[in-house]
């Protein structure tokens, strides 16, 4: 039998940490706790069709959108998994208006965690891929005190780590800690994330474009022209390109990360800032794509340079192959 070499996420994190002589192990502990939450959410997503967890809670989230039960489950699960590890001083979630405080006893960590507990939740009922997105910063407030809003509102280039989990045909966790992008597939039999995508580099060029074309009428004329250009026939540039749009940003992003392409959620006349949230969606994928050799802009500037003004701010995004 051929010898199989496999590397678990836990071991990979430790190996990576060994490369940094001053590392305290705190970030490793944090990523480990996150992976545990991901496993529990994955399990719940997989059985969503079997238990009475489908359907709306009846509430709206802070953005006035309908919230599904699984969003709340994932939100709660992340808080339960993360608030007593001693690695964090504060958290923020797409599903909660204000910052999330860490109980005083555990409020000693030097890191800040922001997350979109469940991305693509409109797809839950249809068994279409959804995901969890996270972003980690070093605190800027004094150690030993409760974390603050200022800790959460940092520019994306200051992220220490970022990643996501896609609950798809298999569950995959992809993360970067600023040293390449690595993907781990969950083996459902023994519940471990195993390294499956080492040092992901996104293709420099590709033929995939991803955008909600239903919004065409509301787009800027320049964008209309660009999309039309992608659809024109031209042998030399390989056009027409091919459209792919799931409606779960993180699943669209993941596919394009591997195959190359561009994902767009632009501003339009109805949504002048686009739809996606800077802190929970755009910054983490921008960090990852840059680590994978791609780019992320809002149309004018690099996503990672945007100075955040509030926790739930939306920004237009164009992300993908160079």
CB 178 within 8 A of CB 161: yes
Cβ-based nearer residue to Mn ion, 89 or 288? 288
Are 273 and 316 in contact by the 8 Å Cβ rule? The answer is yes
Positions of E strands within 98-170: 100-101, 111-119, 130-138, 161-167
Decide: 245 and 211 in contact? Cβ < 8 Å.
yes
Q: Which residue has the CB atom at the shortest distance from ligand AHG?
A: 249
Stretch of 15-23, 112-120, 171-179, 184-192 lying at the interface with ligand AHG (CB under 6 A)? 112-120
DSSP structure string for 245-259: --S-HHHHHHHHHHH
CB of 268 to ligand AHG, least distance (A): 10
- Binding to ligand AHG (CB under 6 A) within 32-71 occurs at 65
Query: Shortest Cβ distance from residue 249 to ligand AHG (Å)?
Result: 3
Shortest Å, Cβ 248 to ligand AHG: 5
Answer for which of 39, 139, 207, 275 binds ligand AHG (CB under 6 A) is: 275
In terms of CB distance, is 110 or 275 closer to ligand AHG?
Answer: 275
Q: What angle do CA 138, 141, 147 make, to 5 degrees?
A: 85
Pairwise CA distance, residues 306 & 177, whole Å: 20
Nearest approach in angstroms of CB 119 to Mn ion is 3
Q: Which two tokens stand for residue 209?
A: 């474009």
- Of 107 and 159, nearer to Mn ion (C-beta) is 159
Long-range contacts of 215-220 (CB under 8 A, 24+ apart): 215/266, 215/268, 215/270, 218/268, 218/269, 218/270, 218/271, 219/266, 219/268, 219/269, 220/266, 220/267, 220/268
CB atoms closer than 10 angstroms to residue 124: 22
Q: Which residue from 28, 35, 107, 121 is in contact with ligand AHG, where contact means CB under 6 A?
A: 121
- Is 116 a binding residue for Mn ion by CB under 5 A? The answer is yes
Phi, psi torsion values for 8, nearest 5 degrees: -80, 160
Among 243, 247, 293, 308, binds ligand AHG (CB under 6 A): 247
- Interface pick for ligand AHG out of 82, 249, 278, 292 (rule CB under 6 A): 249
R_g of the chain computed on alpha carbons: 19
What Cα–Cα distance (Å) separates residue 193 from each residue in 19, 21, 136? 21, 25, 20
Q: State the Cα–Cα distance between residues 253 and 244, nearest whole angstrom.
A: 10
| Residue (152 or 177) nearer to ligand AHG, CB | 152
Give the contacts of 180 (CB within 8 A, at least 6 positions apart): 199, 200, 291
For residues 45 to 84, the per-residue mask of contacts with Mn ion, x marking binding by CB under 5 A and - elsewhere, is ----------------------------------------
Residue closer to ligand AHG, measured from CB, 175 or 265: 265
CB-closest chain residue to Mn ion: 119
Q: Which is nearer to ligand AHG, 89 or 211 (CB)?
A: 211
248 binds, among Mn ion, ligand AHG, none (CB under 5 to 8 A by kind): ligand AHG
Binding site for ligand AHG (CB under 6 A): 65, 94, 116, 119-121, 212, 247-249, 275
Binding site for Mn ion (CB under 5 A): 94, 116, 118-119
């Amino acid at each position: 039998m051929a010898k199989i070499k496999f590397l678990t996420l836990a071991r990979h994190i430790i190996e990576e940490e060994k490369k940094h002589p001053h590392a305290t192990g705190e970030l490793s502990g944090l990523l480990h706790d996150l992976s545990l939450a991901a496993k529990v959410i994955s399990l719940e997503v997989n059985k969503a069709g079997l238990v009475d967890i489908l359907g709306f809670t009846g509430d709206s989230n802070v953005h006035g959108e309908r919230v599904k039960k699984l969003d709340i489950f994932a939100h709660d699960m992340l808080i339960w998994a993360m608030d007593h590890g001693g690695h964090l001083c504060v958290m923020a979630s797409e599903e909660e208006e204000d910052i999330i405080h860490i109980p005083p006893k555990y409020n000693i960590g030097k890191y800040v965690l922001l997350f979109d507990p469940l991305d693509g939740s409109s797809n839950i009922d249809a068994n279409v891929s959804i995901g969890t997105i996270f972003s980690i910063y070093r605190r800027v407030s004094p150690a030993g005190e409760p974390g603050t809003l200022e800790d959460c509102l940092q520019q994306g280039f200051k992220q220490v780590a970022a990643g996501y989990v896609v609950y798809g045909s298999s569950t995959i966790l992809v993360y970067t800690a600023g040293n390449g992008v690595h993907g781990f597939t969950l083996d459902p039999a023994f519940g471990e994330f195993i390294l499956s995508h080492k040092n992901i580099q996104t293709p420099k060029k590709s033929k995939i474009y991803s955008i909600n074309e239903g919004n065409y009428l509301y787009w800027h004329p320049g964008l209309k022209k660009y999309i039309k250009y992608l659809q024109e026939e031209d042998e030399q540039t390989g056009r027409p390109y091919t459209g792919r749009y799931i409606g779960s940003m993180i699943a669209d992003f993941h596919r394009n990360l591997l195959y190359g392409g561009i994902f767009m959620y632009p501003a339009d006349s109805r949504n002048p800032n686009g739809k996606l949230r800077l802190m929970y969606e755009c910054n983490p994928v921008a960090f990852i794509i840059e680590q994978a050799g791609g780019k992320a802009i809002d149309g004018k500037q690099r996503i990672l340079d945007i100075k955040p003004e509030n926790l739930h701010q939306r920004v237009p995004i164009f992300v993908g192959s160079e």
